[in-house]
Amino acid sequence: MSPISILHRHRVAALLGAALIISPIVASFAESPNDVRNAVGTTQTPVAGVTAPNGSFAPIVAADKPAVVTVTTVMKGQPDVMSDASPLDGGGSPFDDYFRQFFGDQGMPGPKAPPQQSQRAEALGSGFIVGADGTIVTNNHVIDGASSIKVTLDDGTELPAKLVGRDAKNDLAVIKIKADKPLPTVKWGDSDKLMPGDQVLAFGNPFGIGTTVTSGIVSARGRDLHSGPFDDFIQIDAPINHGNSGGPLVDVSGNVVGINTAIYSPNGGSVGVGFAIPSDQAQKVVAKLMKGGEIEYGYLGVQIQPVTQDVASAIGLDHPGGALVSSVTEGSPAAAAGIQTGDLITGFAGQEIKDPKDLSRAVADVSPGKKETLDVWRNGKAMQLSVDVGRNGDDAQTASVSGDSGAPGNGQGARLPAIGLGLMDITPDIRQQMNLPDNQRGAVVAAVNPDKAAAASGVQPGDIIIAVNQMPVKSARQATQAIAQAGKSGRKSVLLLVERGDAQI
C-alpha cells in the first residue's frame, strides 16, 4: 500500500500499490516509500469469505460504503522514475493484460501519456470519512511525498484535498475536502474487543477498479512487524490488495475497528495475510492530527528489554512482567529522575506496564513537559519515581526496546562451571586491547562454554559484566561471588548486566 513513485525500484510492488510488502524473515516493512522490500516464501491459500449470521453483509456495506473514498496523490517524478509502474499510469503493470481482457485499452485505468513524457507519478490508496465536514482518515504512506491530493467519493465526485496532519510513526494521516453538503461518515468501533475468529469486512479501492468490500476473520492480535515503535497490528485474512491502504476495517456492527495498512505477500498479490492498525490506537492519533501538524511524543531516554521467567526469578519476582532498563541515556529525563540500569519499570502514569511495548506506547502518549510517576522494582523493593517527560525528536526514541538479551565464558581468572563462563579482571593490557575508558569497571568474559547456560543466554567472549542481580561489580572476583551467592540463595537464575560495545543488555 505504498505510493507508486517507489515502484521503479521494485516491480513486484506494482502488484500491491498501497499494500506494503512484509519480509517473511524479519517481518518488517519499509520505513519510507523508497525502501519497500520484495517478499519471498511459500504461497498460502486465503481462507474463503465467511458468511454473516443473517446470511448477508449487505446492510453493513450499504451503510458504510458511501463513506469510503479513493485517495489519489501526485508526486513529482525523478528522471529514473518509470511511469508505467502502476495501473494508474497506463502501462507496464502486471495487471495490464487482465484489464485489457475485460475493458480493452479504452477501459484501462489512468492516463495514457508515454513514459518518456511523464515527469510525475500517481499513487492510489483509500480512506474513510469520519467528519461530515469532509475530514478523512488514511495512511501516511498513501500521501507521503505528495505534491497534490485528490479524493474521489463513492458517487464519483472528485475533489481536491489538503493535508491536515500526518504521523509517520503510526502511519496515519488526516486530510480534508470541501463539499457543498454534509458527507456520510462511519463511526469508530472498539478494537480492544476484537478476538481471533471475529468476522470483519475490509473496504477499499483495489487496483483502481472501484470501491470493493471483502470479508474474513481476525486471524491474530498484537502482531509486531518491527516497522515502528507502536506496532500492534490486527492480522486478518480478508483479501486486501493494491489500493486498499487507508481503507476501513469494520466489525459486524459496521463500526471501524482498524485501518488496512499492509500485507505479507510472496507473490505480490493477496494471500490472506493482511494487517490493520487497531482503531483504539488510531483514534487517539487521529484526534491529535485533526488539530493540525505532527504529533510530539513523550521521551524518557532508556533502553529496555523484556522480562523472561528467568530474569524475574533472578530479581526476586514470582512472574515475568514490566520493562527491564538495560541502559539510561546521559542527560535524559530518565537520568534526571534517578532511573538506574537494572531497574524494572512496572507502572507509568498509573498504567500497568506488562512489557516493553506497553512502556513505549504509554510514554509516547504523554505530552512533553508533563510530570508523571514511575513504578519501579529495585533491589527487591518497590518504589516510585517522578519524571518530567521530555520531547522526542527525530533522533530520539521514547523508550527503545533492546533486541538482545544476554548473560556472560570459561577461561583465565574466575571460573563459573555451573553457568559455563570464565571471567578476567580489566588489566591495563586488556584495557588497551579493548580500547576501554580509564573508569571502566567490571569483569571481562574470557570464554564461554557452548554447552552451558551462559552461551544459551547469548553471552559472548569480550562482554563485560558490570552488574549481577542489579548490584554493580568491579572485578572478576566480585562477579564470581555475586553469582555464587545467587545460587546459594536458591535462585534458579541470575541477572547479568552486560556491556557489549556501545550497548548494555
Closest CA to 478 of 412, 414, 428, 411: 414
Catalytic residue selected from 2, 5, 219, 245: 245
Residue with cell 516509500: 33
SS (H, E, C) 215-273: EEEEEEEEECCCCCCCCCEEEECCCCCCCCCCCEEECCCCCEEEEEEEECCCCCCCCCC
Catalytic residue selected from 84, 141, 191, 326: 141
DSSP SS3 for 192: helix
The DSSP-derived string for 343-398 is: -EEEEETTEE--SHHHHHHHHHTSPTT-EEEEEEEETTEEEEEEEE-EEE-TT--S
Radius of gyration of the chain (CA): 27
Is 236 within 8 Å of 251 (Cβ atoms)?
Answer: no
Is 387 within 8 Å of 453 (Cβ atoms)?
Answer: no
Indicate left, alpha or beta for 350 from its phi (over 0: left) and psi (-120 to 50: alpha). left
Is 435 within 8 Å of 445 (Cβ atoms)?
Answer: no
Is residue 171 annotated as a catalytic residue, yes or no? yes
Q: Which residues contact 194 (CB under 8 A, 6 or more apart)?
A: 200, 218, 221, 234, 251, 257, 278
Catalytic residue selected from 171, 237, 425, 463: 171
Interior CA angle at 425 toward 481 and 449, to 5°? Answer: 70
Q: Residue 502 class from Cβ within 10 Å (0-12 exposed, 13-18 middle, 19+ buried)?
A: exposed
- Which regions of 42-171 does DSSP assign to beta strands (E)? 68-76, 120-131, 135-138, 148-152, 158-167
Grid coordinates given for 25: 524473515
- Which regions of 104-243 does DSSP assign to beta strands (E)? 120-131, 135-138, 148-152, 158-167, 172-177, 199-204, 212-223, 233-236
Pairing type for strands 274-278 and 443-448 reads: unpaired
Four-point Cα dihedral 406, 407, 413, 418, nearest 10: -140
Tell me the sheet residues that pair with 176.
Answer: 135, 162
- Count the alpha carbons within 13 Å of 491 in the hemisphere toward its beta carbon: 22
Separation of alpha carbons 387 and 331, rounded Å: 13
Q: How many C-beta neighbours within 10 Å does residue 370 have? A: 11
Is residue 245 annotated as a catalytic residue, yes or no? yes
Residue with cell 496523490: 73
DSSP SS3 for 278: strand
Residues labelled as active-site residues: 141, 171, 245
